């Protein structure tokens, strides 16, 4: 993996994103953020570790989990809510929801009609809601015609 060109961003741009989020631009953070921006999709921590190992930039599994946690805390990475199971992560680009195919398991991004979170009002007296995620389920375009 070429961290210097991850997801069309240069090493300096990735480092700037980390610093703007209040994080130091360490090698593990640059690698994890870089692979998520480059690959674009929904990946478990183990997937991220495997992708880094395959690219010749291995990180310990615990380090990947720690980095993902800090990137989620600072809003650079989102936990893609696709329902029960392993946590999936993606680079934060815009607020959106997810569609999960019941047949093949594909996870597709669904634009949020409002465009920012929270996009729903739960009308829960006294609560301050900062996020709402919707998971759509059904058959994806590839499976639906079958």
Distance of CA 44 to the CA centre of its chain: 9
CATH of domain 3-79: 1.10.10.10
| pLDDT at residue number 4 | 42
Q: By the 8 A CB rule, do 3 and 30 touch?
A: yes
Burial of 77 from C-beta contacts in 10 A (0-12 / 13-18 / 19+): buried
Structure token digits, residue 59: 């990180």
Domain boundaries, the chain: 3-79, 94-138
Architecture of the domain delimited by 94-138: 2-Layer Sandwich (3.30)
Q: By the 8 A CB rule, do 54 and 46 touch?
A: no
- List the chain pLDDT tens, one digit each, 146 residues: 454 445 567 889 899 999 999 999 999 999 999 999 988 888 999 999 999 999 999 999 999 999 999 999 998 998 887 777 788 898 877 777 888 898 998 888 887 776 666 666 677 788 887 777 788 889 999 998 87
């Amino acid at each position: 993996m070429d961290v210097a060109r991850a997801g069309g961003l240069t090493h300096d741009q990735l480092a700037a994103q980390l610093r703007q989020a209040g994080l130091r631009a360490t090698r593990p953070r640059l690698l994890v953020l870089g692979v998520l921006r480059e690959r674009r999709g929904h990946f478990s921590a183990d997937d991220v570790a495997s992708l880094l190992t395959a690219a010749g930039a291995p990180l310990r599994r615990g380090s990947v989990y720690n980095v993902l946690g800090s990137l989620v805390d600072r809003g650079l990475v989102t936990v893609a809510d696709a329902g029960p199971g392993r946590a999936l992560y993606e680079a934060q680009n815009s607020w959106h929801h997810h569609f999960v195919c019941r047949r093949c398991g594909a996870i597709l991004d669904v634009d949020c009609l409002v465009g920012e979170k929270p996009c729903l009002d739960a009308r829960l007296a006294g609560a301050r809601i900062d996020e709402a995620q919707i998971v759509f389920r059904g058959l994806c375009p590839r499976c639906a015609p079958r």
